[in-house]
Amino acid sequence: MRTFAVALVLSAVALAGVPAVAQEGHPLKGSWIGTWAGNTVHGNDMFMVLDWNGKAITGTINPGQDNIAIKSATLNPDGWVLHFEAEGKDKAGAVINYVVDGKIENLAMHNRSVTGTWKSQRGSGAFKITRQ
Protein backbone atom coordinates (compact mmCIF):
# COMPACT_ATOMS: atom_id res chain seq x y z
CA MET A 1 0.00 0.00 0.00
CA ARG A 2 2.77 2.38 0.95
CA THR A 3 4.66 1.73 -2.27
CA PHE A 4 1.51 2.37 -4.21
CA ALA A 5 0.91 5.65 -2.41
CA VAL A 6 4.41 6.83 -3.14
CA ALA A 7 4.04 5.83 -6.77
CA LEU A 8 0.79 7.72 -6.94
CA VAL A 9 2.26 10.91 -5.62
CA LEU A 10 5.44 10.68 -7.65
CA SER A 11 3.39 10.15 -10.77
CA ALA A 12 1.40 13.24 -9.96
CA VAL A 13 4.53 15.24 -9.40
CA ALA A 14 6.03 14.05 -12.66
CA LEU A 15 2.92 15.06 -14.54
CA ALA A 16 2.70 18.37 -12.78
CA GLY A 17 6.02 19.51 -14.17
CA VAL A 18 7.83 22.46 -12.66
CA PRO A 19 5.53 24.36 -10.31
CA ALA A 20 5.22 28.11 -10.48
CA VAL A 21 7.88 29.99 -8.57
CA ALA A 22 6.80 32.50 -6.02
CA GLN A 23 6.81 36.26 -5.91
CA GLU A 24 9.51 37.81 -3.76
CA GLY A 25 10.31 41.43 -2.83
CA HIS A 26 10.00 44.49 -5.01
CA PRO A 27 8.54 43.34 -8.35
CA LEU A 28 11.14 45.11 -10.50
CA LYS A 29 14.24 44.00 -8.68
CA GLY A 30 16.41 41.58 -10.57
CA SER A 31 17.84 40.78 -13.99
CA TRP A 32 15.70 41.05 -17.09
CA ILE A 33 16.21 39.89 -20.65
CA GLY A 34 14.13 40.91 -23.64
CA THR A 35 13.81 42.98 -26.77
CA TRP A 36 13.13 46.51 -27.93
CA ALA A 37 12.01 45.65 -31.38
CA GLY A 38 13.45 47.60 -34.29
CA ASN A 39 16.15 49.39 -32.33
CA THR A 40 18.77 49.99 -35.03
CA VAL A 41 21.12 51.86 -32.72
CA HIS A 42 21.51 49.48 -29.77
CA GLY A 43 20.22 46.27 -31.29
CA ASN A 44 17.04 44.33 -30.95
CA ASP A 45 18.02 42.42 -27.81
CA MET A 46 18.56 43.97 -24.43
CA PHE A 47 19.50 43.14 -20.87
CA MET A 48 18.44 45.13 -17.84
CA VAL A 49 19.40 45.05 -14.20
CA LEU A 50 16.97 46.83 -11.90
CA ASP A 51 17.04 47.55 -8.20
CA TRP A 52 14.91 49.26 -5.57
CA ASN A 53 16.64 51.09 -2.73
CA GLY A 54 13.49 52.05 -0.91
CA LYS A 55 13.17 55.43 -2.56
CA ALA A 56 14.05 55.04 -6.22
CA ILE A 57 14.26 52.47 -8.96
CA THR A 58 17.77 52.31 -10.35
CA GLY A 59 19.31 50.25 -13.07
CA THR A 60 21.33 49.77 -16.19
CA ILE A 61 20.59 48.55 -19.69
CA ASN A 62 23.17 46.26 -21.28
CA PRO A 63 25.58 46.46 -18.34
CA GLY A 64 29.14 46.57 -19.58
CA GLN A 65 31.26 48.82 -21.71
CA ASP A 66 28.34 50.25 -23.66
CA ASN A 67 25.85 50.33 -20.86
CA ILE A 68 22.90 52.68 -20.91
CA ALA A 69 22.10 54.36 -17.63
CA ILE A 70 18.52 54.67 -16.50
CA LYS A 71 18.03 58.33 -15.62
CA SER A 72 14.65 58.01 -13.98
CA ALA A 73 12.06 55.33 -13.42
CA THR A 74 8.68 55.13 -11.78
CA LEU A 75 6.35 52.27 -10.98
CA ASN A 76 2.70 53.00 -10.35
CA PRO A 77 1.33 50.11 -8.27
CA ASP A 78 -2.15 50.97 -9.49
CA GLY A 79 -1.95 48.75 -12.54
CA TRP A 80 1.78 48.12 -12.12
CA VAL A 81 2.65 50.67 -14.81
CA LEU A 82 6.36 51.24 -15.43
CA HIS A 83 7.86 54.35 -16.99
CA PHE A 84 11.56 54.92 -17.38
CA GLU A 85 13.92 57.13 -19.28
CA ALA A 86 17.45 56.25 -20.23
CA GLU A 87 20.30 57.96 -22.00
CA GLY A 88 22.69 56.16 -24.31
CA LYS A 89 25.04 57.09 -27.12
CA ASP A 90 25.38 55.86 -30.65
CA LYS A 91 28.70 54.80 -32.14
CA ALA A 92 29.44 58.40 -33.12
CA GLY A 93 28.85 59.58 -29.56
CA ALA A 94 25.52 61.24 -30.17
CA VAL A 95 23.11 61.10 -27.25
CA ILE A 96 20.07 58.86 -27.66
CA ASN A 97 17.20 59.50 -25.26
CA TYR A 98 14.96 56.54 -24.62
CA VAL A 99 11.49 56.60 -23.12
CA VAL A 100 9.88 53.29 -22.21
CA ASP A 101 6.35 52.73 -20.98
CA GLY A 102 5.11 49.31 -20.02
CA LYS A 103 3.14 47.24 -17.61
CA ILE A 104 4.09 44.31 -15.41
CA GLU A 105 2.33 41.11 -16.40
CA ASN A 106 2.07 37.96 -14.32
CA LEU A 107 3.03 39.88 -11.21
CA ALA A 108 2.88 36.83 -8.99
CA MET A 109 5.36 34.88 -11.07
CA HIS A 110 9.11 34.89 -10.60
CA ASN A 111 9.53 35.18 -14.38
CA ARG A 112 7.09 38.05 -14.73
CA SER A 113 7.28 40.34 -17.77
CA VAL A 114 7.08 44.00 -18.65
CA THR A 115 5.45 44.72 -22.00
CA GLY A 116 4.96 48.08 -23.65
CA THR A 117 6.66 50.43 -26.06
CA TRP A 118 9.97 52.23 -26.46
CA LYS A 119 10.79 55.36 -28.39
CA SER A 120 13.79 57.60 -29.08
CA GLN A 121 14.89 60.20 -31.64
CA ARG A 122 15.82 57.32 -33.92
CA GLY A 123 12.71 55.17 -33.78
CA SER A 124 10.13 53.35 -31.71
CA GLY A 125 8.68 49.90 -31.28
CA ALA A 126 7.47 47.18 -29.00
CA PHE A 127 9.22 46.51 -25.72
CA LYS A 128 9.21 43.29 -23.75
CA ILE A 129 11.49 42.04 -21.01
CA THR A 130 11.19 38.98 -18.79
CA ARG A 131 12.65 38.59 -15.35
CA GLN A 132 15.30 35.89 -15.03
Partner 1 sequence: MRTSTSFRARLAALSLGAALLAVSPITAHHSILAKFDDTKAITLSGLVTLVDWTNPHVHVFMNVRDAKGQVLNWAVELESPIDLKQSGWSPETLRPGDGITVRGISARNGSRQAWARSVVVTATGREVFGVVRTPPAAPLSPRPVPKFADGQVRLGATPGASGYWAYPSATALVEDGVTVAMDPYGQLKNVGDAAKVAPMQPWSLALYQNRQRRFLQDDPTYINCKPPGGPRQMQQPFGVQFVEDRERQRIFTLIGGGNHNYRILYLDGRGQKGQVSGDDDNPLYYGRAVAKWEGDTLVVNTAGFNEDFWFTNGGLPHTDQLQLTERFTRTDFDTLKYEVTVNDPAAYTREWKATWNLRWVGGEELPVYFCQDNRP
Nearer to partner 1, 41 or 81 (CB): 81
First vs last Cα of the chain: how many Å apart? 42
How many CB atoms are closer than 10 A to CB 38? 12
Nearer to partner 1, 47 or 52 (CB): 52
90 near 83, Cβ under 8 Å? no
Should residue 71 be labelled a site residue for partner 1 when binding is judged by CB under 8 A? no
Should residue 95 be labelled a site residue for partner 1 when binding is judged by CB under 8 A? no
Q: Give the interface with partner 1 as residue ranges (CB under 8 A).
A: 1, 4-5, 7-17, 19-27, 29, 52-54, 75, 77-78, 80, 107-108
